[in-house]
Amino acid sequence: MSERVEEFRPPQRLLLGPGPSSVNPRVLQAMTQPVLGHLDPVFFKCMDDVYDMLCRLFRTSNKMTLPLSSTGTGGMEASLCNVLERGDTAVIAINGFFGRRMADIARRCGADVHTLEFPLGTAIDPNVVEEELKRHSHVKVLGVVHGETSTGILSPLEELCALAHRHDALIIADTVSSLGGHEVAVDDWDVDICYSATQKCIGAPPGLAPVTLGPRATDAMRNRETPVQSYYLGMADLETYWSNTRAYHHTTPISMMYALREALAMMVEEGLENRIERHARCAAALRAGLQAMGIGLFADPAHHLDPLTTAVIPDGVEDTNVRTRLLDDYNIEISGGLGETRGRIWRIGLMGDSCREVNVLALLSSLERILPGEGFAVEPGSGVAAAQRSLVAA
């Protein structure tokens, strides 16, 4: 006996959390194209386009540049497990939730992990990192998060790369929230391994993790004494599929690759510098609007992460009440804090297609209407006006 299953129809939300970001209809349309086989010569042209545009985005000529069939956490795990072996020494700088995750994965690789904890809301201090590197005879990997999604902080990646190499260490950089929204110059900064994710500033759905390996990292991977413990994330095997060999490794998510290609094409058409400037302009307007409303900012102002702003929840205001009202009444999603910041901050993302001036004004206007009902007085129009002044001045 047949049975009818009701069609799933998700609501149209404005995604202003830490990811995923809203996806442009042009990218969604690309996903409706006919599915090809992952060894179809026509699909190889799509792969070539993705490779070329990823290199432009990472600003690299690394041959080993590809999107993993995973989310950003898979990119993190692949980056660590391909170069770390049991007994290797790793230093992980932690200034938020995702730095801790990096340290956890490094330990699972069997590495001897030394962590450096920085106060939440502050950047990684290269001077402190260098002192730690000096304490160990040989550090194989320095792991850092460029843009810490949990706190809205951007750390000085170029400087951290230079000091890692002074101590003959590989540097692994998490650019999940910064790639496409801030400058990331893999070749100029000499980043050994850099990974990201598609659902943030790149503007595609979640499901792929772009990663690039430089010459040092490639040599370390090829000269391992033991096999990489993960077959699925083993970059040497994956490379054979992305090289001219086109050897089967796993079935690529074809429709997601279409989406990534289209999102990258939109980035090329906009111009990477223009996209970075758009993220900076909208983030500055959001920060101006929040402060005009009397809402403080959590992140050190000298190290703001433009794609992700962390706002301090006013005293007496219930975090979930505000976020629920935004979602139910205005179809706007923002997120709360993680770990120690739960209930203390809101995380507001302006990433990729979500990073628009109109979205900044819509969110501020909605907060101006919601917050007085939560006992926090807001002068009507104060946030919107401040954001408009910032945008005019930009």
CATH of the domain at 107: 3.40.640.10
Q: What is the pLDDT of residue 76?
A: 98
Quick one: 49 exposed, middle or buried, by C-beta within 10 A (0-12, 13-18, 19+)?
middle
Which of 217, 244, 268 marks a domain boundary? 268
Q: Are 167 and 131 in contact (CB under 8 A)?
A: no
pLDDT, tens digit, for every residue of 29-74? 999 999 999 999 999 999 999 999 999 999 999 999 999 999 999 9
- Do 192 and 313 share a domain, yes or no? no
pLDDT, tens digit, for every residue of 191-213? 999 999 999 999 999 999 999 99
Question: What's the gap between Cα 171 and its chain centre?
Answer: 17
- Do 260 and 306 share a domain, yes or no? no
Share of the chain above pLDDT 90, in %: 97
- Do 219 and 264 share a domain, yes or no? yes
Give which of 182, 226, 185, 178 is closest to 200, Cα–Cα: 178
Q: How many domains does the chain have?
A: 2
| Mean pLDDT of all residues in 100-117 | 98
Range(s) of the domain holding residue 275: 271-393
Token readout for 298 is 């959590």
- Do 259 and 275 share a domain, yes or no? no
Give which of 324, 326, 322, 279 is closest to 304, Cα–Cα: 279
- Do 173 and 259 share a domain, yes or no? yes
Q: How confident is the model at residue 245 (pLDDT cuts 50, 70, 90)?
A: confident
Q: How many CA atoms lie within 13 A of 239 on its CB side?
A: 14
Whether pTM > 0.75 for this model: the answer is yes
Q: How confident is the model at residue 335 (pLDDT cuts 50, 70, 90)?
A: very high
pLDDT, tens digit, for every residue of 128-155? 999 999 999 999 999 999 999 999 999 9
- Do 135 and 256 share a domain, yes or no? yes
Model confidence at 273: pLDDT above 90: yes
CATH classification at residue 348: 3.90.1150.10
Q: Note whether residue 15 is domain-resident.
A: no
- Do 227 and 91 share a domain, yes or no? yes
Q: Are 65 and 55 in contact (CB under 8 A)?
A: yes
Which of 249, 268, 287 marks a domain boundary? 268
CA 225/CA 318 separation, integer angstroms: 53
- Do 287 and 162 share a domain, yes or no? no
- Do 110 and 193 share a domain, yes or no? yes
Model confidence at 394: pLDDT above 90: no
Q: How confident is the model at residue 2 (pLDDT cuts 50, 70, 90)?
A: confident
CA 64/CA 47 separation, integer angstroms: 13
* Measured CA distances, 81 to 85, 107, 132 (Å): 7, 10, 22
Which of 268, 293, 320 marks a domain boundary? 268
pLDDT, tens digit, for every residue of 74-90? 999 999 999 999 999 99
- Do 254 and 295 share a domain, yes or no? no
Q: Are 288 and 386 in contact (CB under 8 A)?
A: yes
- Do 275 and 262 share a domain, yes or no? no
Q: What is the pLDDT of residue 116?
A: 98
Q: Note whether residue 5 is domain-resident.
A: no
If DSSP codes are grouped into helix, strand and coil, which group holds residue 61? coil
* Measured CA distances, 350 to 145, 326, 357 (Å): 19, 16, 9
Model confidence at 243: pLDDT above 90: no
